[in-house]
Amino acid sequence: MQYLKILVEDIHSVVIATNDQNGRPVTRVIDMMLYDYQGVYFLTAKGKEFYKQLINQKYVSLTGVKNKKSISLAGKVRNIGNEKLNEIFEKNTYMQKIYPGDTRSALDVFVLYEARGQYFDISDPAHIERGTISIGNVQTTISGYYVGKGCVGCKKCLDVCPQRCITFKDGLAIIDQHHCLHCGRCMPVCPVNCIERR
């Protein structure tokens, strides 16, 4: 929920992608209006091409960036009609000027309800942060570089790591996935080839 709060309240505006009728990617900027344990909510007008794409494809990919912090998500969406519409207008009062009075009836609300993604923060470049996000019944795994069996504790990987995110426990290397850049510099210097990308 912490990452969804950042997405809605701090980043707010994201670039969201669907495909056009020819299967080519199309992007536009959409505001993320609300979040809860069910997912993230946004809206669009029923007359837009975006609306048709959401109804037909039921899947989106989005990325939002602000102050060197980014969130990317990809997953399933569904139309929930005017459910939460009044709540969205109460929490996002600028919408009342865009769609005054009863003109808000042109809008439908969509929820991104089953998705996975990641949080990436480079606001402190010497100490980046990374996190995984899941919404709904979706399994997330932290991808990246891992030290497998056979580590000899030579520390050559630590010497080339730009974030210094490799530690040693009982003489064996451990890569902290929450601070790793996924640059791969550690892999080729390992003399026993025990670092792998997962």
Question: Distances in Å between the alpha carbon of 98 and those of 18, 95, 103?
Answer: 24, 5, 9
Q: What percent of the chain is modeled with pLDDT above 90?
A: 89
What is the pLDDT at residue 139?
A: 78
What is the pLDDT at residue 186?
A: 94
The yes or no reply on domain 1-135 and CATH 2.30.110.10 is: yes
What is the pLDDT at residue 198?
A: 85
Residues 148-174 have a mean pLDDT of 91
What is the pLDDT at residue 110?
A: 98
**Please, is 105 exposed, middle or buried when counting C-beta atoms within 10 Å of its C-beta (0-12, 13-18, 19+)?**
exposed
DSSP reduced 3-state for 153? coil
Round to whole Å and give the CA distance between 123 and 120: 9
Q: 177-186 burial string, b = 16+ CB within 10 Å, else e? A: beebbeeeeb
Residues 187-195 have a mean pLDDT of 94
Closest C-alpha to 10, from 37, 24, 31:
31
In this predicted structure, the answer to whether residue 36 has a pLDDT above a threshold of 90 is yes
pLDDT digits (tens, 9 = 90+) for 162-173: 999 999 988 889
Q: Which CATH class is domain 145-197?
A: alpha beta
Domain residue ranges in the chain = 1-135, 145-197
What is the pLDDT at residue 171?
A: 84
Q: What is the dihedral of CA 79, 81, 87, 89, to 10 degrees?
A: 100
pLDDT digits (tens, 9 = 90+) for 58-96: 999 999 999 999 999 999 999 999 999 999 999 999 999
pLDDT digits (tens, 9 = 90+) for 102-141: 999 999 999 999 999 999 999 999 999 999 999 998 877 7
